Structure 1
Amino acid sequence: MDEIVTNLNIKILAAQKHESLSYAFMSAETDEIRMVFTYSVLEEFRLIPTSKCEKKDSAESTKLRNQGNRIFVGNPNNASEYVKAWELYCKGVAFASNNTEELALAFANRSAILVHFQKYSEAVKDIDRALDLNYPDHLKAKLLLRKTECLASLGSSKTTSAYEETLEWLDKMSLDNSSRMKFKEKFKEKLKDVSKISNVKVNGNSEPVVPVIKPQDEILCATNGLAVRYDDKFGRHVVTTRKVQPGEILAVEKPYSLILATENMYTHCAHCLRIAWASIPCEHCVFVVYCSENCRDVAWKKYHDIECPVTGLLLNLDMNKLGLFSMRIAILALREFSSLEKLRAELIEIDSCEDPRTKGFSQDGKLYSNKYRSIYSLVTNTEKRSLPDIFGRAMNAAFIVYFIATHTSFFEQTFDKNDLTSMILNEDVMFVGGLILRHQQIIPSNMHTFGEERSLDSADRGSAALPFYSLINHSCDPNVSRNSLAEHVVLYALYPMEKGTQLFDNYGNHYAIMPKAERQRKLMRQFYFKCECTPCQKNWPMYLELPSFHTLIKSRGDRIKVEKSLQKFNEYVDLATEGKVSDKPYLISDLTRMIEVLLKYVTLPCVEVNNVVETLKRVFALHGNRFEIPDLKRV
């Protein structure tokens, strides 16, 4: 897209229209008018959006499967290499044409690596899928042997019938008696090995536990310890209505929508974002996989029927997840109201709200995280954006709505690819384009990372639209943090807070790891504000220069009290580093007690406070989404 915008600018400059067009664009008062303008410019300079898209390709599927085979057969010592092979098999599944031998082979080959990961239930799913397709007869005995091994490992009552079916197919194989006997003996030995493992650890994805809270009447995802306030300095923001303790769960919000990071396209479910060990493909495109038939069907009904023919075209233009998310939210908005007329009426009502605190709240006075109006009402920062910024986003929106109009029936007709005039004159197309442009401005200032833990690192699983959490302002030393679960995001306190304390999250710019000048620059560039938090005002040092409580506390007696409270801290750091926290509920209470004791005797900043807070965050994260490289089966 950057290259397209650059080429358009060259044409505009050559025509000596840059100044007049710039003035006209910046004079536009609504996003819908900006879309009409952008389309008019595209039409004037005959810039018809074009792109290409990868399709189902059995040859490409075979290539990917063979790449996975080379890694798997090489029997690497590094478990991460097996994960690479699994990813290649997953991509091979996505690219295989429907109901083909190549798809059957992709499922079958992936089942082998799932057995290696001790994911026996998932392997059985892949084996059954392969057998239901055009899987070669001469390979079925070997695949059924694998299924029998999996069922035996799971202690399934179906093991015997699978064993008998394996023998039937073995008899159908064109083997001489000697080879057949060797195969049967090998089969029996495998089953003996399985039967010896009475307490086999079967790798599985345990679901994070969602905390149960008592919601308040106004903000349905939050406890009664929080309230939304408004003033001219902070805009809408969140404050405590009572005393809050560190580690306390303050809210549990289910996102309005989630979108998968493009780098996880073949490893996670495109709908629920869970890890899809035994994924199934979209039947039409190669850009999504799903963890189940249910997720595939729900996604198709909610949005993927529109996204399916469009996503690949946008990805080919290097459209990032921001662009894809702006499209997703527009589709969901229409589906929520069933017609564009009802959606227009809803937006007119929201725009007429005169109370800035409750803008986006529903008519009953509540903020619902699953309602589009709660997303639409979030800040856009339009008035603070530069011409190149807004025009670049307008071009993104123009291309998105163009491909929707020409490749889908979203507007109850399919437009001619060369007829931009008809699109300009169509109020529905320009209205939806305006919404997508609005989303393009809302997302960078409001969307949140939806994460997972990978070994010692935190990684992006995708992005989440969280209307309530978007009302929380930034600090370079936040007093709350978020933890992503399978379908929710938990907000918890990091520090003790008195009644009336404003909540502050961190927008990815923490004082301990980023110099003040860089923080200020990044926050201004993306969020359009100058940070005036305490670390910025007092120019706190970065982590390596933070003072210790040993120098901050003058009283020997007080130092001893702090030292006593931290006696087990190093042990807890080791447990958090190793990921061994799930059966140790005392960790959170002990760490929060350490924070309370430290803050009783020290002033911030303090390196020990930083260390304990970061460890608490790690422990919370380990109770959320995790992508762990599975234990390998010893063969």
Structure 2
Amino acid sequence: MNNISLPEDCAKQWEILLLLLSAEEKKIDRTSDNEVDTMNYFYKNEGVRKILLQWLHQMQMSYAKKMSESDTALKCDEVSLLWRQRGNDKFRADCYQESYRCYSKSVLYAHQNKAMYPLALANRSASLLKMKKFKDCLADVALALDSGYPKELRHKLLLRRADCHIELNQCKEARVAIAAATDHAATLNLSSVHAAEFERHIKKLEEKLDVTRDVQAEEAVVLPECHHGLNPDFTAASNAIQLRRNDTVGRHVVTREATRRGDVLFSEEPYAWVALPAQRPVCEACCRIDINTVPCGGCSRSVYCGVECRTRAVGFHRWECVGAQAELFKTIGIAHLALRVLLITANEGFPPVPRTEPAPSTASELFRSYSRVDNIHIYKSGTHPFYRMFNLVTNFEKMNNTDYIQYALTATMLTLYLEKYTTFFEYLPSRVPYGLPDGQLQLLAAAIILRSLGQLVCNGHAALSLATVEEEDDSNGCTVSEREVRRATAIYPSAAMMNHSCDPNIINTFYNSRLIIRCSRELPAGSEVLNCYGPHRAREPTAHRRAQLRAQYMFSCTCTACIDTERRDFVLLFTAYACQSCKGPVVWSGRRAHCQQCNAEFHLERALAAIEHADELLAQAERCTSVEQRCERTQAAFKLKQQVWHRHHVSLRAAADTLARLYADTGEFSKSVELIKHNIQSLEYQFGSFSVEVAHELRKLSEVMLERIVRSPQNPDYRDWCLEAHKIMKKAVQLMELNYGSWEPLVKRLKEQESLTAALLADIRTPDAAQGVHHDLHYNLKI
């Protein structure tokens, strides 16, 4: 290893170090060693320890410091002031969204026991008020006041609090805030100018308050309950399903009775989870997104949705804070979640083993005792969750030696991190029910991390959320797009009991960190409940799916989709050319091809020439100065691609989508509607009528239909348009709720549009009454 040149950036050295060390350290007897035996070897290996400790030291020296004038891993009031001044400039320019982002940075970097922190919070609250985010504004005002906001300025924050309560129709709270502001101002020696200004502000608020009426508080989110209630023998699962075990497929889930599409089969909080690096902040305690961030008090790398969540996170973040400062967890990927499993377990306390005689006296004995439990019985309600976590499969016995050694090296590094950079091992003895000799606690911790790594690779679950984004080239456009984004990686021990199918019969949805699993179709009693571990029949050919599953999950898939010879290559249809004679699908595999329907020879050269010409037209369209010209050339390119690609080709759908957006931009909504409808038919054929892909396209269709209604109320087809739009919106709401849950903001917005359209239909014969509905409809369209 002395002759190897490593990258200067120590974060980039990690994968290379793993490869080099695993190449030299192959002294693991996989036939008899358990995780404790493995970690006993690596943890006590002086050469390995020296290299890993040196790397940890380099990471801390490289990242746990001020990185630039605008970024630091630690707290720095100079950096905080820089961002506050930038925020002030943006605020004065009426750029409130930009000022909010700057002030959030100022909050992030400020020392929380010094003056800069409450000032940053107060400034951010001003931006939030302008952005009409009144609840977040109230939270910042409260935190600024609690954090020592200057006495001579407090009356301004109290007035801001009153303003928010008025906007939220909370009259009682607004009066209390106005009284508090008045009382506080009376204790100050305000100048005549400032006193007059204060009185004007009070009068303005009181005038607003006089015309404000109390309204009921917004209803809390009500999560769907498990079908037929919770199963006492299967934690977090429905009474309609049960956990079984046999020698062929191991533990698996079957229905006890017939279930319908949409029935909830699981509603489970994770044993542990970690947020993934992303532009959109995620609360590291509850997994909420789009949050008004409250940072950790020690580092500027971890954020929360409020003080309560920050307090809850202390149980694990106190041991992770130094690592977060050193960018350790971004570097090691899923190993961060393996560490979190250990920290969560320690915070909750390791449970005693079922058999107490004799009491375990070493880490190895304790490990063996935990693995002796009945792995069906541990799913009964009331049993300690650690048993379910500990007894998930690892697949270590099927894993190649290099991967296993790299996991062991990672576990060693994380144990050394806890030992050298935290006081975790001073705390751990109080969390283990047995007194273990010196050194055994470190082996226990290392073995838990190693075991968790194996479990997470084959049982981990991505937590997704729906992000609504505007297209970069659609600044004047009529539609928005949504995409699923991974916000966290989590482990759900009950849901992990489902076996895989490339054609699953369930849908995963998320509310914060909670996983809610529904039936995607009707299931008769005795059916196995099947999840998809990643490779889906509608997205990848059989051979690719099987290869991925063997590589990560160590099994050869024999699900219905994989053994159905007639539909084995179904997905290839969506990248097929169109036969130049009959328009049937032609799959090009690098050899001369013939149409399977009419046996005509396919001429690839003609097809490629047509696509090249179409791409030239699209390039011309991009250079056009008017939307109409862009639309004309894009339409010509689309017609060429229709001649070359099969009607279900995924790229033809993308081309149709682009053209549909341009049609909407030019006001040709009916043309846009027809293209989107064709895409929906194609998506239904590929993914199914109740799929998330169809749900997104229906949402898009409803938006264009609504804009058509708003723009053309005198059209003779107006009533038919309204009827069709209402029908489409009802279907879009149904599918979005099925695939994402009623709590998603997009679903709520679709429901509002559905209600407004229903009102429009009700008032269709009274144009004067309908005008108000038209105004509300146009206001609510995010297009």
Letter in 2 for 1:330: L
Residues 4-28 of structure 1 deviation map (CA, whole Å, 9 limit, x = unaligned): 3524755x6xxxx946x32447677
Contact (CA 8 Å) 2:43, 2:49: kept in 1 or not?
Answer: no
How far off is 1:435 after superposition?
0.9
How far off is 1:104 after superposition?
0.5
Task: Say yes or no: does 1:349 pair with 2:369.
Answer: yes
How far off is 1:277 after superposition?
3.8
Structure 2: gaps spanning 5 or more residues = 1-10, 65-72, 353-359, 429-436, 469-481, 577-583, 585-682, 696-733, 750-778
* Structure possessing the higher radius of gyration over alpha carbons: 2
1:328 — aligned with what? Answer: 340
Give the RMSD, CA atoms, in angstroms: 4.1
Moved more, 96-105 or 302-311: 302-311
Contact (CA 8 Å) 1:452, 1:624: kept in 2 or not?
Answer: no
Specify which of 67, 71, 75 is matched with residue 56 of structure 1.
75
Instruction: Check 1:200–1:454 CA distance in 2 against 1; reply closer, same or farther (3 A cut).
Output: farther
Task: Say yes or no: does 1:458 pair with 2:488.
Answer: no
Specify which of 348, 362, 377 is matched with residue 361 of structure 1.
377
Contact (CA 8 Å) 1:280, 1:289: kept in 2 or not?
Answer: yes
Letter in 2 for 1:539: R
Letter in 2 for 1:623: G
How far off is 1:477 after superposition?
1.6
Q: TM-score, normalised by structure 1?
A: 0.74
How far off is 1:425 after superposition?
7.6
Instruction: Check 1:350–1:543 CA distance in 2 against 1; reply closer, same or farther (3 A cut).
Output: same
Instruction: Check 1:331–1:164 CA distance in 2 against 1; reply closer, same or farther (3 A cut).
Output: closer
Partners in 1 of 2:214 and 2:90 — Cα distance? 30
What SS does structure 2 have at the residue aligned with 1:611?
coil
2:172 — aligned with what? Answer: 157
Instruction: Check 1:408–1:45 CA distance in 2 against 1; reply closer, same or farther (3 A cut).
Output: closer
What are the residue-to-residue correspondences of 1:50-449 with 2, within 5 Å?
50=57, 51-52=59-60, 53=64, 54-76=73-95, 82=97, 86=100, 88-136=102-150, 139-154=153-168, 155-163=170-178, 166=181, 177=192, 181=196, 184-185=199-200, 188-189=203-204, 192=207, 206-212=220-226, 213-263=228-278, 267-275=281-289, 277-300=291-314, 302-313=315-326, 315=328, 318-320=331-333, 322-337=334-349, 347-353=367-373, 358-359=374-375, 361-362=377-378, 366=380, 371-412=385-426, 426-449=439-462
Q: Percent identity?
A: 22
What are the residue-to-residue correspondences of 1:487-502 with 2, within 5 Å?
488-502=514-528
How far off is 1:283 after superposition?
2.8
Letter in 1 for 2:332: M
Instruction: Check 1:411–1:608 CA distance in 2 against 1; reply closer, same or farther (3 A cut).
Output: closer
What SS does structure 1 have at the residue aligned with 2:466?
strand
How far off is 1:190 after superposition?
5.9
Specify which of 6, 13, 19 is matched with residue 16 of structure 2.
6
Partners in 2 of 1:397 and 1:334 — Cα distance? 16
1:510 — aligned with what? Answer: 536
How far off is 1:374 after superposition?
0.4
Partners in 2 of 1:9 and 1:489 — Cα distance? 35
How far off is 1:351 after superposition?
2.3
Contact (CA 8 Å) 1:448, 1:463: kept in 2 or not?
Answer: yes
Higher relative contact order (CA 8 A, sep 6+): 1
Contact (CA 8 Å) 1:228, 1:239: kept in 2 or not?
Answer: yes
Instruction: Check 1:45–1:68 CA distance in 2 against 1; reply closer, same or farther (3 A cut).
Output: same
Residues 262-299 of structure 1 deviation map (CA, whole Å, 9 limit, x = unaligned): 337x8333212234744433333333333344333333
Instruction: Check 1:446–1:476 CA distance in 2 against 1; reply closer, same or farther (3 A cut).
Output: same
Letter in 2 for 1:390: Y
Letter in 2 for 1:611: S
Residues 284-339 of structure 1 deviation map (CA, whole Å, 9 limit, x = unaligned): 33333333443333332x3333333344335376132x222211211222344458
What SS does structure 2 have at the residue aligned with 1:221?
strand
Query: How many residues were matched structurally?
Result: 548
Task: Say yes or no: does 1:541 pair with 2:570.
Answer: yes
1:623 — aligned with what? Answer: 741
How far off is 1:370 after superposition?
5.7
How far off is 1:261 after superposition?
2.8
Partners in 2 of 1:194 and 1:621 — Cα distance? 42
Task: Say yes or no: does 1:43 pair with 2:72.
Answer: no
How far off is 1:470 after superposition?
0.4
Letter in 2 for 1:31: E
